[in-house]
Structure 1
Amino acid sequence: MLLCLTASHRTTSFDVLEQLTVGASAVASTLGAHADIAGAVVLSTCNRFEVYLDTDATDAVDLIASAAGLDADILRSSATQLHGDSVAQHLFSVSSGLESVVVGEDEISGQVSRALLDARDTGSTSPALEKLFQRATKTSRGVKTQTALGGAGRSLVRLALELVSSRITDWAETRVLLVGTGQYAATTVVALRDRGAEQISVYSPSGRALPFATKHTLSAEVDLALALTAADVVITCTSGAEPVITPEVLAAGARRMIVDLGLPRNVDPLVVGVAGVELLDLETISLHAPLDEITATADARELVGSAASEFVADVAIAPAVVALRTHVLGILDAELARGRAATPEAEAALRHFAGVLLHGPSVRARELALEGRASDVTAALETLFGVQVEAPAAAGEAAEPATA
């Protein structure tokens, strides 16, 4: 059965999200090694933390909370658990940007794909989760190409820069310091240049500023305190567990805008006590998220809903289709073993005929599954052919709160 525990900016405090993000690696390794869990994928972004499990368990809150170093009761009150069919609907919606701070944002689909790659690297994924995440990626591409949400420029970074722009007279004359060198930093560079920023420098707590600066034609900084003094706008997006910018490294002086896009926080909230400093963090940015574009969002949700229904139908009907194919091809192999095919050409023709013969029933079985009649297909196979069909890998169950 598929299970998802989800905590996002909409239902969870940033303090809890921050602690979950810090513990993401420990959660992934703990779940991947657990005997009762066939597969686990952890999705951790700047505004959500989600765990997708392939397991027979019905509640994973205690295990996840323990691995993240978080009180289980706090997690129960902050998160939601989804089971079975509702997991696909949720992940497809997340991957398509429909659950993001900025509806239709560009980055989330890549983050979903990377979460699966990370699970592969650690050996914690499973065939069921592979199918789920691959279909999520396909669905998000469909939303981008078939709905108005596919327009460029939707992202949390761009929303943050839009908010900052009210304080900026001329981006070309603004000195910008970027703290961080990951994928989000690269996205930020593009967004800054789209705004007209020309004076961009980069600092890396891990010492990777120079190669990043060379790749993106920026200036590399080695002294954070000096770089902060010279900057008009500071944007942080690094993955460290501790704040990089604290009151101690900031000198009072000219007005500076600091934008903290990190989770965990890259900037100590106490920096607002330093004269001239203004802080814009994720929590504040999320409060200024624009309203959904109603028509575009409705079209995207309809597409996501259809994709989720098709995925659920495919999962439900897969055992019956496999059983039918195994039955027919088994008979064919038995006949071929008895020497009925005199030539390779004849054998190939018979296998082609078997494939054609199976195609129609397979298509019809999927159509019936979409109508909620997968059990009719199973009953027909057992009645007509005596074929025993195994239960589907994931049973449809409604969403439940984490407190259930």
Structure 2
Amino acid sequence: MSNLVDIIKISNIIVADRAREDYADIKDLTEKIRVRGLIQPIAVKELSGGKYLLLAGGRRLAACKRLVMETIPARVFPGDLTEVDEKEVELSENIDRKDLSLHERWKLEKAIHDLYMARAGGPKVSKAPGAPGHSLRDTAKLLGKSHQQIATHVMLATAMEESPEMKQALSRVKTDKDAIKVLRAANKIIEASENRKRVEAGYIPKVHKDLMEAFNIGDAFEGLSSVEDKSINILEIDPPYGIDLLHNKKSQTSAGVQNITTYEEVEESDYSEFIDRLLSIASTKLSEDGWLILWFAVQYYEMIKTAIENHGLIVCRTPGIWVKPQGQTNRPDTLLASCYESFFYARKANSKINKQGMKNTFLYNMVPPQFKVHPAERPIEMIECILQTFANPSSKIKVAVPFCGSGNTLLAAANLGMIGIGWDNSQQYKDAFVQRVVAGKPPNYKSYS
């Protein structure tokens, strides 16, 4: 493309819609141009009637207007410049500039890709050499970037174009990685909404529908109270720990993730009464050969053990222990990393362990952060092992799960052919559970891919 540098009138320059939207630090640039003059010309396309279309240099032009300059040095491109050529000029001007925003870069790269694809007659549908059309790989080669980078940027720019809400959400991110997390989280919300619509329309297989209906939105105390007395074979309870989880655990987001602020805690001063009320209901629901599995924070060992005994259950002093290969601590200068969680197992008089001789330790990895939907999520594989330690897998075994959170115990029970029922107040957790349900089927639900 031939071009020449000329001095043109600022009043003759037309500024159309461009990829660059945010002219950051315009005051600083204005002052530099006032002191040193304009070092790098803007780029324009020559139009009829002595007019010019701005191609690149909008920030420089804006600064010169602030200085009430009448003319400006410009690199003038001929009027027969194609739309693709125009975008190429703008891209070449801005692609390596540090002050081009992340979102402007996405928009500009997508515009280049779209224009080249249109000029080539559409997308490339074959990988054969010389195949017609234009692909993301072609755009990546043209811009000197990886195929993954261009694919990601085009996807993000498309999302911003198609949804005002997504544009607003993505406008706050600082990196491609954070943008992908936001996009994935939004897609999960959309998928959850679509899943609910399919359920309401009756388009869900019975095995999935039954599992979805096993996760009830509502109060755990009310739900458990509604269950028939002496009908539950395993009652797995993972109650709030009364330890202010919000300040003891770092929040993880990804459209991982999870938002820890949705986790409901119990005040430490109310915790003893909370546990006593819970066990007063739970103890009446266990069958004569039933087992209680109750996870607890170590500082409440004596209080919870005593409460279990006071409600007529036989509890082992030595708890079951989930041993994790990695530990966690928020105060590494004074505390060792904790790599275990404990649960009491308690029984009625006639209860017998199914897998006799099992150790009280369960060595399992944590759920990978990118797959977690709940801050205190435990792996399905471990829960399966615990369930069949205490009961022989069959459709006669009923598993109740107050505070079911991620719903992984319901999935583990389904894998073993057991019948599960659970309660939780969070629609967010149920939506995530529904996604997992429709993505697989028993006995193949897993936390580890």
Do Structure 1 and Structure 2 share a fold, with TM-score over 0.5?
no
Of structures 1 and 2, the larger Rg is shown by 2
With structure 1 as the length reference, what TM-score do the two structures score? 0.24
Larger relative CO (CA 8 A, sep 6+): 1 or 2?
1
With structure 2 as the length reference, what TM-score do the two structures score? 0.22
Which structure has the highest helix share of the two?
1
